[in-house]
Amino acid sequence: MTVIVITVFLVFIIAGLDVGFAMMGAAFLGLMMNADSFSDAMILPLSALNASNSSALIAVPMFVLAGELMNRGGLTNRLVAWSDAMVGHLRGSLSQVAVLTNLIMAGVTGSAVADATATGIALIPAMKKEGYRPAYAAAVIAAAAMLGPILPPSVPMLIYAVMANISVIQIFLAGFVPALLLAIGYMVICGIMARRHNYGAGKRSSWRVRAAVTRTSIWALMMPVLILGGMRSGLVTITEASAAIVVYAIVVTVFVYRDLTLRELFRALFIAGRTSSVILFLFAAAGPFSWFLSEAGVANDVSTALIGLSSHPMVVLLAVNGILLIAGKILEPLPALVICIPALLPVQAHFGIDPIQFSVIVILNLMIGMQTPPIGLLLFVVSSIGEVSLVSVIWQIFPFVLWSLTVLTLITVFPFLTTWLPYLVGT
């Protein structure tokens, strides 16, 4: 029966059915095949409600809305100008600007797709105009956009914290060092590619110009500082911080930048509502599906198999990396999270792996899947924006994927890269 249900789930996914509906449909089939009475089917809505019954999840639509407001309120152009002033003099200037802009925007939107769309629309045409290969320009945006879900406010990190019952702010802080390692490596790759293909550098900005663009961008640059500072000081909870950031975003975009029109405000509300409903429905749909997998013993079987694989935690971590990389290629990050976490948490607990380190390993694996050929979601986004073939983007993304896997290996082997900052701050 379990094999039939999982097969049906995979068939639904391959057929193009939304992942949430695929999980609901497969779970309902499993319940009906094993139901002793009609009342057993009540487990479906009850488990769905229970899965989404967490006050921390209120932060999801708030962070999504704040990101939409800032993106539509002139944020992207100001951050591009700030990044250009800071690193525009480096070889391959526009590609360097793309990486730095995405790094800063990661602390505002927390969404890889949102960052890829916003910066891709602004920078891919500019890079093509400057003589960059179109596929390479798209690959740079796809790689850099992956930084979004690794820095706060990160929706995948928030979902993980809720499911694993660990501190949100600790996971947020744990992403800083891996994100910086990724960004530095991407910028080095951009420099190497610029020398190889003779991509030029811009003019070095004076400190006066840098100070001026920093003043105009400071409201956006302060956003992640306010989120973490408020939570770390105990002034606000994660839910209160998310609501406060929405108010902050409205004030900045309407009264400071004055770029957010009433039409764009309603558009941001609509898109944020649509995006949030997809995320929260997915979380609810995972409830009955996870319940079925647990009752059928699938999660326990996977945990037992991993625990029995070796007595050495590092061997098991490498196996977990392999499983998650495959899952990240097949599923989008959020569905993969809600499906895999119940099976992986017992493994983390059994081997005494630090839960903060483990959370970043899981999330980074799934984010790499977004940029990994052949079906990484970011590849489709940037190829559409850049109007280039998917195959050509795939060839150009490989150096960035290799560096991403290198950083994944580093945080797997050296736990302090993820645990140092959270425990230093003492959250």
In order along the chain (427 residues), what is the average pLDDT of each group of 10 residues? 75 75 80 61 72 73 82 78 86 88 73 76 85 91 87 83 87 92 94 88 85 85 77 77 86 85 87 82 78 73 86 90 83 78 90 94 89 74 84 90 95 93 77
Q: CB count, 10 Å around CB of 218?
A: 13
Predicted confidence at residue 29, as pLDDT, reads 79
What is the DSSP secondary structure assignment for residue 148, as one 8-state letter? G
Predicted confidence at residue 177, as pLDDT, reads 93
Predicted confidence at residue 46, as pLDDT, reads 74
Indicate the helix (H) or strand (E) that contains 69: helix 59-72
Distance CA 392, CA 135 (A): 6
Predicted confidence at residue 355, as pLDDT, reads 94
Q: What is the largest CA-CA distance in the chain?
A: 75
- E strands of 293-375, at which residues? none
Predicted confidence at residue 40, as pLDDT, reads 61
Q: Tell me: the pLDDT tens digits for 77-105?
A: 788 888 888 888 888 888 999 898 888 87
Predicted confidence at residue 181, as pLDDT, reads 95
**Based on the number of CB atoms within 10 Å of its own CB, is 195 exposed (0-12), middle (13-18) or buried (19 or more)?**
exposed
- Within 175-251, residue ranges assigned H as helices are 176-197, 207-221, 223-233, 238-251
Predicted confidence at residue 371, as pLDDT, reads 82
Q: Tell me: the pLDDT tens digits for 20-57?
A: 788 888 887 777 776 554 446 677 777 777 767 777 67
Predicted confidence at residue 182, as pLDDT, reads 95
